[in-house]
Amino acid sequence: MQGVGFRPFVYRTAARHGLKGEVNNRTDGVAVIVQGDPAKVGDFRNDLLSHAPPAADIKSIEVYPRLLQEFDSFSITLSLNIDDQITEVSPDIAVCPDCLSEMDHDPRRMDYPFINCTNCGPRFSIIESLPYDRSHTSMKPFRMCPGCQSEYNDISDRRFHAQPVACDLCGPRYTYSDGVKILYDLKSILRETAALVQAGKIVAIKGTGGYHLLCDALNEDAVRTLRKKKQREARPFAVMFRNYDSLREYCHAGREESAELTSWRRPIMILKQKKQLAPSVSNGLNTTGAMLPYMPVHYQLFRMLATPVIVLTSGNISDEPIITDDVTAEAELGKIADALICYNRKIINRCDDSVVRIIDNKTALIRRSRGYVPRPVDLQLDAGNILALGAEQKNTFCLGKGKQAILSQYIGDIRNLAAYEFMNEALARFSQLFRFTPEAIACDLHPDYLSTRLAIEMSQEFRIPLFRIQHHHAHIASCMAEHKLDEPVIGISFDGTGYGTDGTIWGGEFLIADLMDFTRYTYLDPVALPGGDAAVREPWKTAFSYMYKYFGSSFDFMSVKVFKQAGREKLELLAEMLDKNINSPLSSGAGRLFDAVSALLGLCSVETFDSEAPLRLESAINENADEYYPFAAGRPVVFREMFTSILDDIRSGNTSVIPVKFHNTLAMVILEVAEQMSRDTSIKKVVLSGGCFQNKYLLEKACNLLREKSFNVYTNNRVPSNDGGVSLGQVVIASKRLK
């Protein structure tokens, strides 16, 4: 792994043990030659494993005896390109405690906002090509001053061979502008920014992987203004707290949450609220996306701020990629922010903040980006050189190279032109960085996805095989790849939408799957979606369709509040569409069940952001209960009895129990069908994947029920269970089929 201070660490370790030799980066790993007493060589090897830098990940140490010339000393030699194998690139690393301490006390770097060392600082966001040397990063224009050069060359220094090393004399600098004045002095910039935040204003600031917009998270007027200007009507905002104590005042954080929050990755963590911020931050949800400072300037800014928490959201217009270049930021974010803070170092690789949640006592990635990318997933099989282009929403692509899979950073919904261009830009960068030329391409089965169309074009251009992978099979395979499973499993994939082999919309799938193929054992009862995607955006229409399907036109729709609000005219139009099958595709999506129940409860009848209805339904769980509604676990799984009981609870005013009973019902469906599948196949390994399993309550309940019946349960942890992980599944399936 390049960029984690491993070579300097090897150098110092060898010196401590009195060993001679050399160390260098190669495209197939790190090569070390040591000469000396065999006992000291053994101690040296043990120290490599037990004292490696925090962000280093030693997968194996291979030892070979050699007869070589005598070395006079130990040295770091030039990096070597010996073949087309990849050298791993470090993700960006949050500023370390040593640098923070030095920022307060060391005369050379007092208050320097780009302080870093071999253990921390920008990595992936600044690299252009391998090997990871300063000349191949956006630090190239910043020539080291004599002081930094001395540290860079001094083995005893923490900045020995730290590529982004810099100080106030020779490194990047911040600039502030508000349309009236321009400031270059950092203390003046921080004071002015703090005054704006205190006054309820919005500031745009250049981060590690792109610009952010920030305001006081305790000022409702400021948050609402940001929503309006950013065109982000209701999706929750992420917030950054001054420190861990401040975070604990507003959020519940257990041991696992604390460990991930304070790790060098510094992700956004989805936490249960303890105390409310400005209401518009989370907009009625009982969770908050919280993070801690990870850049030196974050710490410096909080010293000036009166508020202990700020909104820190991606600097973009909703649904577009995070902005990275200064000219675009001035043009676009200048319309939103009252001031712009930039620095004069280029961001090479765009990277959003990562989003995670602790589910089933493990880290579950929601958005995989800064701090995690481009660290690969190790595979059981050889993926050759396969490119997978992923899905359309929450897009990532994946390079399969040898026994590793390298996923891109989060790209987003590539139906948006800017996101589609970002995908192509990132693909070109990854191909260059990892010396990648595809020998096969994989994509989704959906014929209209832009990623599918691109895959077809590239397949024809490169004259290489194209594999079109069913969406939910890819979900299951992504989890299998993480856990190195290569055998038949019970695959349960719950999400909103995926193109099925029969041309209908799938999303509540029970599969008997391996890495080659799958059989659809059963599925959730399909419902027609009047208006297609319009029904996804307006959950009340899906609720109507379920009622119409199960209870017919004689059902008293006016007795249900959400339908009464819609009015008879709209209901009659929907009924006609369903009767005549006008633009009403069938969907077995589990997400549509969440939509329907959420709408019936009045939690979300029209979505203002993706998955709002399921999020509000999960957030409405306010009691513990083991009760569940009746259902018929056949082929398909039918929910007529469940909806009958839900309607009874609504009419009796017993609505508070509905969210937890509904979630329990889906967990019981998972258990009962899994038991049927196991009886028929003798398989005891269950793989759960798909966007619905980002739901903490549902996944934990299902896992516990399955384990009680002696199933071995596997879930996504290193890649998202949502569509952000689909490209990994596509790579391993295509690899298996190619061979």
Q: Is residue 444 part of a domain?
A: yes
d(CA 105, CA 627): 59
pLDDT value at residue 27: 63
pLDDT value at residue 52: 85
> Where among 293, 328, 343 does a domain terminate?
343
Q: Cβ of 35: how many Cβ atoms within 10 Å? A: 16
Place of tokens 């919005």: 202
Please tell me what DSSP assigns to residue 172.
Answer: -
Write out the residue range of the structural domain in which residue 315 sits. Answer: 177-343
Instruction: Tell me: do 337 and 396 sit in the same domain.
Output: no
Q: Cβ of 258: how many Cβ atoms within 10 Å? A: 15
Beta bridge partners of 492: 510, 688
Instruction: Tell me: do 317 and 431 sit in the same domain.
Output: no
Beta bridge partners of 493: 509, 689
Burial class, 312, CB count within 10 angstroms (exposed 0-12 / middle 13-18 / buried 19+) = buried
Residue 547 and residue 643 in contact, taking contact as beta carbons nearer than 8 Å: yes
Instruction: Tell me: do 253 and 314 sit in the same domain.
Output: yes
Beta bridge partners of 518: 513
The encoded tokens of residue 504 equal 């209908």
Instruction: Tell me: do 388 and 516 sit in the same domain.
Output: yes
pLDDT value at residue 133: 86
Which residues in the chain land under pLDDT 50?
none
Q: How many domains does the chain have?
A: 2
pLDDT value at residue 650: 96
Residue 84 phi/psi, 5-degree rounding, is -95, 10
The encoded tokens of residue 367 equal 């958005």
Place of tokens 């305790």: 218
Q: Is residue 730 part of a domain?
A: yes
Q: What is the CATH number of the domain that holds 433?
A: 3.30.420.560
Residue 208 and residue 92 in contact, taking contact as beta carbons nearer than 8 Å: yes
Q: What is the CATH number of the domain that holds 196?
A: 3.90.870.10
The encoded tokens of residue 448 equal 């209209």
The letter for the amino acid at 404 is Q
pLDDT value at residue 24: 84
557 three-state secondary structure: helix
Instruction: Tell me: do 397 and 283 sit in the same domain.
Output: no
Q: Is residue 588 part of a domain?
A: no
Q: Is residue 64 part of a domain?
A: no
What does R_g of the chain's alpha carbons equal in angstroms? 27
d(CA 364, CA 101): 32
Instruction: Tell me: do 520 and 404 sit in the same domain.
Output: yes
Residue 725 phi/psi, 5-degree rounding, is -105, -5
pLDDT tens by residue, 286-301:
999 999 999 999 999 9
Instruction: Tell me: do 324 and 384 sit in the same domain.
Output: no
Residue 495 and residue 482 in contact, taking contact as beta carbons nearer than 8 Å: no
Beta bridge partners of 367: 355
> Where among 343, 364, 397 does a domain terminate?
343
The encoded tokens of residue 84 equal 């087309």
Instruction: Tell me: do 241 and 380 sit in the same domain.
Output: no
pLDDT value at residue 553: 93
d(CA 226, CA 411): 23
Instruction: Tell me: do 189 and 328 sit in the same domain.
Output: yes
Q: Is residue 78 part of a domain?
A: no
The encoded tokens of residue 75 equal 């040295």
Instruction: Tell me: do 292 and 235 sit in the same domain.
Output: yes
d(CA 164, CA 161): 9
Sheet holding 398-401, edge to edge: 377-378, 404-407, 398-401, 385-388, 440-444, 466-469
> Where among 323, 343, 363 does a domain terminate?
343
Instruction: Tell me: do 261 and 407 sit in the same domain.
Output: no
CA angle 95, 101, 104 (to 5 degrees): 110
Q: Is residue 537 part of a domain?
A: no
pLDDT value at residue 131: 80
d(CA 397, CA 654): 46
Q: Is residue 217 part of a domain?
A: yes
Q: Is residue 597 part of a domain?
A: no
Instruction: Tell me: do 694 and 736 sit in the same domain.
Output: yes
Burial class, 108, CB count within 10 angstroms (exposed 0-12 / middle 13-18 / buried 19+) = middle
d(CA 275, CA 265): 25
